[in-house]
Amino acid sequence: MNLSLVIPGEKSVKKLKDCIGMKIQSKHEFFTMWKQGLLGNRTNLWTDPFEAFESGAKEIGFREIGKAGGGAWEKVPYQDVWFTADLWRLAGRKFLMDDGAPDWCRTLQGEICRTYRGMEGYLDTIGELPMRPAMKAGHMRHCTYATCKALLEKFMDPSSRDDLDALLELYPDATVEFSCFDIDTGVFPGRNTIFWETRNY
């Protein structure tokens, strides 16, 4: 496992190795680490609607933060970013904005964890719907180790697979939520996978 894929630098890698077995126990803790790029590849993130508008992204995703059990999520055309931000503020929501993911290129999505049987997860290879709607539509299928391994080898690039292995070693009891695409995406170069969440809560 290459821990330098998570945080570069020898001192940081040593610190991470000393902390193997950690847990991410709250949404706040997760978002703090996710924004810092400590939990694998992610989308570009903004807190200011002006920055989101000026980014050049054609669509802007709004993700509610600080709400247990998963908050609201919405993707809008970039020209609607101001209106949507005002609506979310009026609703009392705290939120992050991002440039979204190339949903039309999605190949695999779901969540993976380690159990006493090895790696298991709920995965969707249909790719027609984002994660939450895909769950509601019944597209997520339980997969045991052999199926998970085969699907990851088929759809996840080697660097992202190293990142996944690093996350599961650092947080062995965590669930890791991700989406794979058939093009490179996110803030880390040469990766086709976005890691949406790593959690123990």
Residues 121 and 181 in one domain: yes
Do the domain assignments include residue 27? no
Q: Quick one: 93 and 109 in the same domain?
A: no
The string of pLDDT tens digits covering residues 60-102 is 999 998 776 678 999 999 999 999 999 999 999 999 999 999 9
pLDDT at 174: 97
| Domain shared by 157 and 181, yes or no | yes
Q: What is the pLDDT of residue 20?
A: 58
Return the percentage of the chain with pLDDT > 70, whole number.
89
| pLDDT of the residue at 110 | 98
Q: What is the pLDDT of residue 9?
A: 46
106 and 89 assigned to the same domain: no
In degrees and rounded to multiples of 5, residue 60 shows phi and psi of -120, 130
Domain that holds residue 82: 45-98
Residues of the chain with pLDDT > 90, as a percent, come to: 82
In a domain, 36, yes or no: no
pLDDT at 8 over 90: no
Provide the edge-to-edge strand list for the sheet that holds 175-181.
Answer: 141-143, 118-124, 106-115, 175-181, 193-199
Count of domains observed in the chain: 2
10 shares its domain with 106 = yes
pTM: 0.86
Cα separation, 181 vs 164, in Å, equals 15
Work out the pLDDT band at 18, boundaries 50, 70, 90.
low
Residue 125 resides in a domain: yes
Going from the C-alpha of 118 to that of each of 112, 144, 173, the distances in angstroms are: 10, 8, 12
CA–CA dist 174, 190 (Å, integer): 25
Residue 16 predicted with pLDDT over 70: no
The pLDDT, as a whole number, for residue 66 is 77
The pLDDT value given to residue 201 = 87
37 occurs within a structural domain: no
Residue 109, domain member (yes or no): yes
| 28 domain residue, yes or no | no
pLDDT class of 39 with cuts at 50, 70, 90: very high
Summarize pLDDT for 119-153 with one digit per residue, the tens. 999 999 998 999 989 999 999 999 999 999 999 99
Residue at 29 is within a domain: no
Residue with more model confidence, 191 or 22 = 191
> Are residues 112 and 83 part of one domain?
no
31 belongs to a structural domain: no
- Do residues 63 and 94 share a domain? yes
Whole-number mean pLDDT of the chain?
90
Same domain, yes or no: 13 and 109? yes
Residue 17 has pLDDT above 60, yes or no: no
Structure tokens at 59: 């669509």
Residues 93, 112 within the same domain:
no
pLDDT score of 46 more than 80: yes
- State whether 83 and 119 are in the same domain: no
User: Are 16 and 62 found together in one domain?
Assistant: no
How far apart are the C-alpha atoms of 156 and 46, rounded to whole Å?
26
Query: Could you tell me if 84 and 165 lie in one domain?
Result: no
